[in-house]
Amino acid sequence: MYGFETTVLLPLHAAAAGWCGPTFFPEDMRAALAAVPEPRLLVTTPLQMSTLLRAGPGLPRLRAVISATAPLDAALAAEAEARWQAPVLEIFGATEVGSIASRRTLEGDAWATYPGVALAPVAEGVGITAPHAPAVPLDDQVEALGPDRFRLLGRRTDIVKLGGHRASLAGLNRILLGLDGVEDGAFVLPEALNPSATARLLAVVVAPQRSADSILQELRGRMDPLFLPRRIIRVPALPRNELGKLPRQRLLDLLAQSDACASGAA
């Protein structure tokens, strides 16, 4: 939905044009932005933003940055705003309803729905309604702050319960990605994990300049001890797809390969 709305619908409904050339490497993106007239919007993802910032040189002047597809860490948003001198905005959406809300990351964790879009109670919890459309239940858990504002708690399938406490994997990932030197990473709920009080998560991390012990030590001061990873697995890269998302099965396959390598080494 994100790509459809920003590359197809936006030019149809506004005086805007989208770049259709190659934008795989950071230099491709700088060249693309330099080739188009102002005002410029950079439509991106947190992973791509992090790569652009690590690449070094700045970008041509931007009106704003729009990010989606994954939770955006406030520290990353602050670095991007300082470097590029433009507000960083997030889009929230879901496959079942398209994009429905936005926020400026540095202004807090509350989302504001688009004009005409409102929260509505449904049998499954909270849904979304709009003119000429029935209420559609969300697969996300949200805390309603009014008819047009909410706080995102996480996907229903994303909520982990350990020792009577609940946490969102997306929220834990946000903490992990906010650590210095962590280029990418994700918490994992292994298939064999049971709901017992002694069950623990794993974390797969791309951090060439950091040790697993130093990462774990820093996490201790940032999250409930129940959700600290039982093991931190350092890898060269995470198996993200072309959209920057991390399919669960790919992640589990990576864990299986890591365990097999560890067993072979032993």
Residue 144 lies in a domain: no
* Same-domain check for residues 97 and 172: no
* Same-domain check for residues 8 and 99: yes
Total domains present in the chain:
2
- Residue 165's DSSP bridge partners are 162
Given a cut of 70, is residue 195 above it in pLDDT?
Answer: no
Quote the pTM value: 0.66
Per-residue pLDDT tens digits for 256-266: 787 656 545 44
Q: Which of 89, 108, 127 is the last residue of a domain?
A: 108
**What residues contact residue 7 under an 8 Å CB cut-off, 6+ apart?**
18, 43
Which domain does 102 fall in, by range? Answer: 2-108
Per-residue pLDDT tens digits for 197-239: 446 788 999 999 999 999 999 999 889 888 999 889 999 999 9
Stretch 137-154: mean pLDDT, rounded?
A: 84
Question: For residue 193, what pLDDT is reported?
Answer: 47
What is the rounded CA–CA span in Å between residue 244 and residue 248?
13
> What CATH number is attached to the domain comprising 57?
3.40.50.980
* Same-domain check for residues 102 and 11: yes
Average model confidence (pLDDT) for the chain?
84
What is the greatest pairwise CA distance in the chain? Answer: 62
